Amino acid sequence: MAQNRKLSTPLSLDDTASKLDEQTKAQDLSANTASPGARLTDNMGHAVSDDQNSLRAGVRGPTLMEDFLFREKLHHFDHERIPERVVHARGAGAHGYFQLDKSLSAYTTAKVLTEVGVQTPVFARFSTVAGSRGSADTARDVRGFAVRFYTQEGNWDLVGNNIPVFFIQDAIKFPDLIHSVKPEPHNEIPQAASAHDTFYDFISLTPESMHMLMWVHSDRAIPRSFAMMEGFGVHTFRLVNAQGHAHLVKFHWKPLLGVHSLVWDEAQKIAGKDPDFHRRTMWESIEAGQPFEWELGVQVFTEAQAEGWDFDVLDATKIVPEDLVPVQRVGRMVLNRNPDNYFAETEQVAFMTTNIVPGIDFSDDPLLQGRNFSYLDTQLSRLGSPNWPELPINRPVNRVANNQRDGHMRQTVNRGRVSYEPNTLGGNKPAEVPQARGGYVSYPERVSGPKVRARAESFGDHYGQARLFWNSMTPVEKEHITRSLQFELSKVETRDIRLRMLGHLERINEVLAAQVARALGERPRVGGTARPGGTADSAAETAVLAAATTPTSASGRLHRAKGLSQEEGQPRLARGRKVAILAAEGVNAAQVAAVSKALTDAGAMADIVGPHLGALAEGVVANKTLANTDPVLYDAVLVPGGAASIQTLIGLGDAHNFVAQAYKHAKPIGALGEGTELLTASEIGRLLRAIAGPAAGAVQAPAGRPDAVQNLSEVGGMRLASGAGAQ
């Protein structure tokens, strides 16, 4: 522990690093963990006899300046806050490891991508972009997906997002984009929301953002859990092999649980009921021994292949469709340890796109090139000193040795008098490392051209992949995109901006544009069957919307691409899901036990929600109440039998609301034995009878939720529960 180190203990990074070579990053971090000592001291080690009262002249007199204990405590407190990240301020992180299953040695020398079976420690941080540090987790937004690999060759940071493209093509527009989406400067409204004039003013004048716009209006922007979203490196990177040959690469993270989302009404309500919804889910899941897991995927291709496509792989507003280059899954990331301290780890972690290792290199994507400046730059204003790489969460696990010295808050006590190179007094160490022994050498890409401020013509198609995305959606997904655009654009107060946006939507898909136009009270310029109110709420309209596709460009000659819809081909597991078991005193304990066991066996979690906390029946303890939780926080609701329990619940409005709201959000609702009486007594009884008949058991979830676990038998064990529950 730092404060117990004797002065004679060397604090040089040389020494700590060599020790760390034999340790994992987990041990490294825990070595810096300060647990509360038995004796209360100030920061200088003086034992404190009274931490309740400041030093005064008389019991009712003024505080004395000489009260060094009081002044030190307040001084520290007054300076506890650091600037939040200018973007991605709200985030949550976890530790774990990455293990490679398939060597990429044909393409790269990077050990982390060639040494099969080796576990590399990682720290991942997930974030929203626009909101400030205290905003809600479930805002409609892109999610940051930043992963640091603590490799033996230094830190490799893959600082990605959960959406594979970006709003802009050139980093010089980033400050404009962010200023437009942040709360408006005169009144600081709205928080963590893009539904306002300045954002759409900028977007409507920036056609290159249209592909990204389709993604942020899709369900991808309201994930169910961090563990149920994909991650993307976004840019094209380069891999360089031992022969010095380069390939281009896109990085992907594929969640083992599949890609799943909330629905928008639910996301908004969760923002109030539990603003920490995503970070809490990750924390609780890891604490319960259920790690968050992804496979690392790569799309590897050559420059020659890329030259044949009708889009530019240096343009970050474009994907490389998986139909053109399949994603090879090469390894697995497991996040299995919560941080010990949010500030020390999650807040102080400083990711940088420039953290790369030999065998991995940049492409000339102008967005990536700009990011390579920004991330280093921002750390200084956030962390306040060029010595931020010494913080435990930022320090690599391999040896750091160079001639950098001093600066605010320097931790390392460098020995000796040599801090320059070349030298003879220190044996000319640390010495440069030749490429053959792991020294980083940039790929010798041939570069030439006039010095210009101009965009390549190959970046010119702004609508083709927006259409490709739209065409690749299922009917329900299309409807969600339509409703989201209706929602956001209806909040834009300036009509000219709304009209400019409609102009762009018309170029993407005319039925989509018509539906949105009607919701904005505008006459659709082209066909479409929209009606006032704008939603496609009749079967005929939904069908028209679903069928609506548009010819595509900039797509590699595809009309529809695989891997874009999150309704198709995603696993729908009970694992990682949460079920509310509604119960009151007298609940059928055997049913609750059987259901709980089945859920646990399937990797799902359950809360027992009662009218009050505590015992409800033999072995059944409510850990949540109808007042302190809400159906929006669960994936499914189950009502076990027990006559007394059901009579109590039928008498409680909150219990009726619980099942009704779960139904509104198209979640599976199941009842066992007398449990069905609550459902039939509630306002959804009529509907439930129409769908499932009066029989007990699992109820099919209504349509409208593309990726809901479709019925209770899929929420692992519910079928078992039904059987077990037959009284």
Q: Applying CB under 6 A, which residues contact ligand HDE?
A: 85-88, 91, 125, 127, 144, 146, 159-161, 166, 171, 174, 234, 316, 349-351, 367, 370-371, 374-375, 378
Task: Compute CA distances 278 → 4, 47, 222, 225, 297, whole Å.
Answer: 37, 41, 10, 6, 24
Q: Nearer to ligand HDE by C-beta: 370 or 704? A: 370
Q: How far apart are CA 673 and CA 681, in angstroms?
A: 14
The minimum distance between CB 251 and ligand HDE, in angstroms, equals 10
Query: What residue number has its CB nearest to ligand HDE?
Result: 144
Which tokens belong to 241? 């092999």
- Per the annotation, does 220 bind a ligand? no
Q: Nearer to ligand HDE by C-beta: 378 or 474? A: 378
Q: Nearer to ligand HDE by C-beta: 60 or 81? A: 81
Q: Where are the beta strands (DSSP E) in 245-291?
A: 246-255
Q: How far apart are CA 350 and CA 159, in angstroms?
A: 10
Q: How far apart are CA 40 and CA 278, in angstroms?
A: 36
Q: How far apart are CA 155 and CA 388, in angstroms?
A: 14
Tell me, what amino acid is at 410?
R
Phi/psi zone of residue 533: left (φ > 0), alpha (ψ -120 to 50 degrees), beta?
Answer: left
Which tokens belong to 229? 């979203």
- Per the annotation, does 371 bind a ligand? yes
Catalytic residue flag (residue 88):
yes
The minimum distance between CB 719 and ligand HDE, in angstroms, equals 40
Q: Nearer to ligand HDE by C-beta: 92 or 530? A: 92
Q: Which residue has the tokens 């081909």?
A: 569
Nearest one of 389, 430, 427, 432 to 410, comparing CA atoms: 389
Q: How far apart are CA 589 and CA 247, in angstroms?
A: 61
Q: Nearer to ligand HDE by C-beta: 146 or 492? A: 146
Q: How far apart are CA 301 and CA 209, in angstroms?
A: 25
The minimum distance between CB 466 and ligand HDE, in angstroms, equals 17
Catalytic residue flag (residue 247):
no
What H or E segment, with its residue span, contains residue 382? helix 366-383
The minimum distance between CB 91 and ligand HDE, in angstroms, equals 5
The minimum distance between CB 349 and ligand HDE, in angstroms, equals 6
Q: How far apart are CA 711 and CA 638, in angstroms?
A: 11
The minimum distance between CB 376 and ligand HDE, in angstroms, equals 8
Q: Compute how many other C-beta atoms are within 10 angstroms of the C-beta atom of residue 620.
A: 25
Which tokens belong to 607? 């809360």
The minimum distance between CB 171 and ligand HDE, in angstroms, equals 3
The minimum distance between CB 122 and ligand HDE, in angstroms, equals 13
- Per the annotation, does 375 bind a ligand? yes
Q: Nearer to ligand HDE by C-beta: 371 or 577? A: 371
687: Cβ–Cβ under 8 A, 6 or more apart, which residues?
A: 663, 702
Instruction: Give the three-class secondary structure for 331.
Output: strand
Catalytic residue among 4, 53, 79, 88: 88
Q: Nearer to ligand HDE by C-beta: 146 or 622? A: 146
Task: Compute CA distances 722 → 2, 666, 679, whole Å.
Answer: 56, 20, 16
Catalytic residue among 155, 161, 414, 509: 161
Q: Nearer to ligand HDE by C-beta: 146 or 581? A: 146
Q: How far apart are CA 342 and CA 257, in angstroms?
A: 26
Task: Compute CA distances 612 → 369, 621, 623, 662, whole Å.
Answer: 57, 10, 9, 20
Q: How would you label 54-89 residue by residue, b for 16+ Cβ within 10 Å and e otherwise?
A: eeeeeeeeeeeeeeebbbebeeeeeeeeeeebebbb
Instruction: Give the three-class secondary structure for 23.
Output: coil
The minimum distance between CB 382 and ligand HDE, in angstroms, equals 7
- Per the annotation, does 85 bind a ligand? yes
Q: Which residue has the tokens 């931020």?
A: 388
Q: How far apart are CA 246 and CA 301, in angstroms?
A: 10
H helix and E strand count, the chain: 21, 18
DSSP 506-526: HHH-HHHHHHHHHHTT---SS
Q: Nearer to ligand HDE by C-beta: 383 or 530? A: 383
The minimum distance between CB 356 and ligand HDE, in angstroms, equals 14
Q: Nearer to ligand HDE by C-beta: 144 or 291? A: 144
Instruction: Give the three-class secondary structure for 190.
Output: coil
Annotated binding site: 85, 125, 174, 371, 375, 382
Which positions are annotated as active-site residues? 88, 161
Binding residues for heme, by number, are 85, 125, 174, 371, 375, 382
